[in-house]
C-alpha cells in the first residue's frame, strides 16, 4: 500500500492523544500506525510515577500491532505531541527508543517505514523515512533473523 493520506494519520494520532495519561509531563503524544490493508492502530502515551516505566504512544500502538501478529504489515506511522492545553504546532518526532521500536517493524516488513510528524495543532507536518531518523539501525537483520 503506497496510496494513503498522511493527514489522516496525523488526525488519527491527534484523536489518540486525547487519551494520553500524562499527569507528570503534561505532554500528550498520539500515534497512528498504518497497516498494509489500510487499517490503522492508535496509541497514546501512558506515564507512570516510576518514570522509567512510562510507555510512549508509538510503543503502545506498535505493541498493539504486534499483539495482533501484524508487525510485518506496518507501512507508515503518524506521531503528534504537545503540551496539554497549549496550541503547540511544531512537529514532534519519535524519541530514540521509539525509533528503535519502529525499526523492528521496518526490518520485519522490509520497508523503510515513513514517519509523519505533527504538533498538537496546526497543519505543519514533517515527513521522514525511518532510515533518516535512525541511520545504521540495529535490528533483527543483524541477528540473522531475517
Kindly list the catalytic residues.
58
Residues shown for the chain = 146
Beta bridge partners of 34: 40, 76
Tell me how far apart the alpha carbons of residues 115 and 128 are, in angstroms, rounded to a whole number: 5
Tell me how far apart the alpha carbons of residues 1 and 9 are, in angstroms, rounded to a whole number: 14
Residue 62's closest CA among 32, 29, 94?
Answer: 32
Amino acid at each position: 500500500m503506497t496510496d494513503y493520506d498522511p493527514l489522516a494519520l496525523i488526525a488519527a494520532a491527534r484523536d489518540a492523544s486525547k487519551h494520553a495519561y500524562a499527569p507528570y509531563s503534561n505532554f500528550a503524544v498520539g500515534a497512528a500506525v498504518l497497516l498494509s490493508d489500510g487499517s490503522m492502530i492508535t496509541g497514546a502515551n501512558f506515564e507512570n510515577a516510576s518514570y522509567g516505566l512510562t510507555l510512549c504512544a508509538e510503543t503502545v500502538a506498535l505493541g498493539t500491532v504486534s499483539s495482533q501478529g501484524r508487525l510485518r504489515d506496518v507501512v507508515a506511522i503518524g506521531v503528534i505531541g504537545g503540551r496539554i492545553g497549549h496550541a503547540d504546532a511544531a512537529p514532534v518526532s519519535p524519541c530514540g527508543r521509539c525509533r528503535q521500536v519502529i525499526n523492528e517493524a521496518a526490518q520485519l516488513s522490509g520497508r523503510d517505514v515513513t514517519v509523519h510528524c505533527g504538533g498538537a495543532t496546526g497543519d505543519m507536518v514533517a515527513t521522514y523515512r525511518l532510515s533518516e531518523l535512525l541511520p545504521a539501525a540495529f535490528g533483527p537483520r543483524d541477528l540473522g533473523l531475517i
